[in-house]
Amino acid sequence: MFDVVVVGAGFSGLYLLHRLREQGLSVRVLEAADGVGGTWYWNRYPGARCDVDAVEYGFSFSPELDRTWRWDERYATQERILEYLDHVADTYDLRRDITFGTRVAGATWDEGAARWTVRTEGGDELTARFVVMATGCLSKPKKPDIPGIESFAGPTYFTSTWPHEGVDFTGRRVAVIGTGSSGVQAIPRIAEQAARLHVFQRTANFIVPAGNHELTEDDHDPDTLAARRASGMACPLGLAFEFTETNLKNAVDLPEAERTAEFERLWNRGGLPMMLGFADLLVDERANRMVAEFIAEKIRRRVHDPEVAAALIPSGFPVGAKRLCVDIDYYEAFNRDNVKLVDLRATPIERVTPAGIQVGGTEIPVDDLVLATGFDALTGALTAIDIRGKDGLRLTEAWEHGPRTYLGLCVAGFPNLFAVAAGPGSPGVLSNMRVSIEQHVDWITDCVRYVDEQGMGRIEATEQAQDQWVEHVREVGDTTLFPRANSWYVGANVPGKPRVFMPYIGGVPVYREECAEVAAKGYAGFHLTPA
Ligand code: NA7
C-alpha cells in the first residue's frame, strides 16, 4: 500500500511527488503518457506555447532549478517547456516513482479500511491512503460533433494529441477547425507551410499580441525573479503586474484619451494582463465594450481585407469572458494569398466529406484536417475516471447537476481525495497555472501531514462547507461578466454539460487566504476521523 497515489505527471504531479516524498511518504505516480509533461507532452502542434511569461511559469520553489535553467524566449515553446519538465524530473530524480504508459480507469474508496483502490486500464490495482488527481484542467480532448467527420479520407490531426514526429504540410491543402488559443497559435505556422489553408471559424475570439522577445541573463537574475514572483502572488491572476493608480480606477470614469493611452500601453506590453487595465473591465459592460472596440480597431488595422477583418472581430460576448488568446502573427496570416477564412456564422459546415468540407453547398477540397476544437474542461479528466466514494457514490452522480467541491480541492462523499488546481471551484484556469498548482500542492501536502500528526486516517469535506463554497463561487462569478459567454468555463462547448461557471474568480491572493484560514482553523469544513 502507498501513502499516496498521484494521477498525472505534469506540473502538478511532479511537484506533488517531490513535496510528498520530502515529507517521507511513499508515493506512486501513474501517468498515461510515456514521459512527464502532461499538457506539454500531448499538445505538440506547430506554434504551441504557454501564454504566460516563461520566467513566471517555471516553478518558484527551487533555487536549484533557478540556477540550472534558462528560458530563451518570453513565451516558452511547448518543446522548451517539455525540456524543462524533463530537467525538473532529472534534478529531483522523480521518474523512479512514476509508472508511465498507464492510464487510470477507476478508483474506489473502502470506508472500512479507509483506503482507495486505484485500477489501471491494464487491470493493475494499487491501494493508497490518499489519492490526488493531478489530471489537469484541459486534458480531455473534445471531438467536434460535425456530420461526416469520420468519413474524411485524409489524415485528421488533433492539436491536443499531435504526432510526435511532427507533420509536414508542404504542398498540402489544409483545413483548421477551431480558433481558440490552439488554433490561433497553430494557424500562422501552418500557413507558412501549406499550399492552401482554410480556417473554419465558428466564433471569433478576442486576441491580444504576445509581444514575444528573447530573454537575457538579466531576466534570470535572482532578485528580478523574486520580485516578479512576489508581484504574481499579489495579483488576482497570479501574473506579475505593477498596478498603477490608473489600473485601480474604472475605465468608465476616465477621459477617452487617458483610457486609450492605458489600453495602448498594455497592448504594447503584450499578453494576458490587458484585462488588468482597469478595475471595471470584467464587471461593467460599458467598460468591457470600450476595450472590445479598442481591440476591434486593432484588427481593422492589421487585416488588409475589410470583409475578412469584420469577420475576425468578435461579437456577442464580453472580452475576457472566454479566455483571451495571445497571438504571434495571427492576423497577418489572413493577409497571405494562401489563407482563406470561412466564417461559419455566415455559412455553417454542412458536412465533412471524404475529400473535403462542405459549406454553403460547395465542397472545399482538403488533404489534411486539423481539429483545434478544445477540451471537456475542468471536469472532463475527473469524470472520465470511474471514481466511487462512500457507499459506492460515483463522482458522475455527485456532479450530475454540475460540479460541487469544497475549495476546488475536495468533494463531500469522497474522503482522502484531492484535485490539484484544476478542480471546479478553484481559481486555477483563471490564473497563472503554476502559481495555483504550487499553492494547491503545498496545501495538500500540509493537509496530509496534519491528518497524520493528529493520528487521524480520514479527512472529508462536509456537505455544509461544500454547499457554502459552491454558493460563494457562484455569487462571486455572478458579479462578473464571465457567465455571459458560451465558454468552456461554463461547459457550453460540451453538449449536455450542466451550465455552471466553474472557476473561482475571487482572485489568487484572496483564495490563498481562504485556504490558509481553513487550515489554520484545524481544517474547518472538513470532518477528520481516525482510520
Ligand atoms: P478552445 O478555446 O475551447 O477553442 C476551441 C475552438 O474550436 C473554438 O473556436 C470553438 O468554437 C471551435 N469548435 C469547437 N467545436 C466546433 C465545431 N463543431 N465546429 C466549429 N468549431 C468548433 O480550445 P483551445 O484548445 O483552442 O484552447 C483551450 C485552452 O488551452 C485555452 O483557453 C488556453 O487556456 C489553453 P466556439 O468558440 O465553441 O464557437
- Shortest-distance Cα residue to atom 29 of ligand 1: 181
User: Closest ligand 1 atom, CA of 144?
Assistant: 18
Q: Would the CB of 146 count as within 6 Å of ligand 1?
A: yes
| Pocket test residue of 45, 140, 182 for ligand 1, highest count of atoms within 8 A of CB | 182
**H or E stretch at 96:** none
Phi, psi of 27 (to 5 degrees): -135, 140
Cβ atoms of residues 120 and 103 within 8 Å: yes
State which fold the 2-139+376-530 domain adopts.
FAD/NAD(P)-binding domain (3.50.50)
CA 282 – ligand 1 centroid, Å: 21
CA atoms of 183 and 200, how far apart (whole Å): 10
pLDDT given at position 40: 98
- Confirm or reject: Cβ of 199 under 6 Å from ligand 1: no
Q: What is the pLDDT of residues 473-519, one digit of tens each?
A: 999 999 999 999 999 999 999 999 999 999 999 999 999 999 999 99
Q: With a 6 A CB cut-off, is 186 part of the ligand 1 pocket?
A: no
- Is pLDDT at 47 greater than 80 in this prediction? yes
Residue nearest to atom 31 of ligand 1 (CA): 181
Cross-strand pairs, 158: 371
> Using the 8-state DSSP alphabet, how is residue 219 labeled?
G
183 ligand 1 Cβ < 6 A = yes
Q: What is the pLDDT of residues 49-78, one digit of tens each?
A: 999 999 999 999 999 999 999 999 999 999
The sign one gets for the Cα dihedral 110, 115, 119, 123 is negative
| Nearest atom of ligand 1 to the alpha carbon of 373 | 7
- Closest by Cα among 499, 52, 44, 502 to 272: 52
Question: Ligand 1: does its nearest atom lie under 6 Å from the Cβ of 144?
Answer: yes
Residue type (1 letter), 314: P
C-alpha cell at position 131: 489519492
CA angle at residue 35 from 30 to 39, to 5 degrees?
85
Region 428-440: mean pLDDT is: 96
C-alpha span between 378 and 190 (Å, rounded): 29
Indicate whether residue 431 lines ligand 1 (CB < 6 A).
Answer: no
> How many CB atoms within 10 Å of residue 7?
27
If one counts every other C-beta atom within 10 angstroms of the C-beta of residue 362, the result is 10
Cα 50 versus chain centre, distance: 10
Query: Per-residue confidence at 421, pLDDT binned at 50, 70, 90?
Result: confident
- What is the whole-number distance in angstroms between the Cα of residue 179 and the centre of ligand 1? 6
Whether the Cβ atoms of residue 161 and residue 33 lie closer than 8 Å to each other:
no
Question: What angle, rounded to 10 degrees, do the helices at 508-520 and 433-453 form?
Answer: 0
Is the CB of residue 432 below 6 angstroms from any atom belonging to ligand 1?
Answer: no
Q: DSSP secondary structure string, 327-368?
A: ESSHHHHTTSTTEEEEETTTS-EEEEETTEEEETTEEEE-SE
pLDDT of res. 352? 98
Boundaries of CATH 3.50.50.60 in the chain?
Answer: 2-139+376-530
From the CA of 179, give the closest atom in ligand 1.
9
Does ligand 1 come within 6 angstroms of the Cβ of 179?
A: yes
* Nearest ligand 1 atom to alpha carbon 429: 34
Mean pLDDT, residues 18-30:
98
pLDDT value for 531: 82
Q: For atom 32 of ligand 1, which residue has the closest CA? A: 323
pLDDT, position 530:
93
- 333, 343, 327, 270: which is closest to 303 by C-alpha? 333
- What is the share, in percent, of the chain residues with pLDDT greater than 70? 100
Closest C-alpha among 391, 359, 384, 508 to residue 460:
391
Residue with the nearest Cα to atom 18 of ligand 1?
144
Give the whole-number percent of the chain exceeding pLDDT 90. Answer: 98
Q: What confidence score (pLDDT) does residue 209 get?
A: 97
The yes-or-no verdict on residue 423 having pLDDT over 90 is: no
Range list of β-strands (E), 134-195: 156-158, 173-177
184 alpha carbon to ligand 1 midpoint, in Å? 10
pLDDT digits (tens, 9 = 90+) for 152-185: 999 999 999 999 999 999 999 999 999 999 999 9
Residue 182 CA: nearest ligand 1 atom is 26
